[in-house]
Copies of this chain bind each other. A is one copy, B any other.
């Protein structure tokens, strides 16, 4: 449990994993998909997830360089947790008032 809480540390981290479940993404694609968090916030969270071995960062030597983020096998396995969160959220909308 503590490990899961450490990995899914905050809203952005969880949303990044959710975005990458549909496939590898570039930095700019992630930023747009997430509603434009600051570049620093996104960079920090991506580094933390890379450090936790949830995703990999691959730099393709092109001009300009193409940087792609991709879930590891361990990262993909978080889908079970995220789907449980998604289901609960759909079944329990916020209370009125």
Give the interface residue-count category, chain A: 20 to 34
Q: Is the CB of B4 within 8 A of A86?
A: yes
Task: Give chain B residues whose Cβ lies under 8 Å from the Cβ of A88.
Answer: 3-4, 77-78, 80-81
Bound-state Cα–Cα, A81 to B1, Å: 11
Bound-state Cα–Cα, A4 to B8, Å: 13
Q: A5-B11, A53-B95 are in contact. List 20 more A-B contacts (CB 8 A).
A: A1-B18, A1-B86, A3-B88, A3-B92, A3-B93, A4-B85, A5-B85, A5-B89, A8-B85, A52-B95, A74-B92, A77-B88, A77-B91, A77-B92, A80-B84, A80-B87, A81-B81, A81-B85, A81-B88, A84-B85
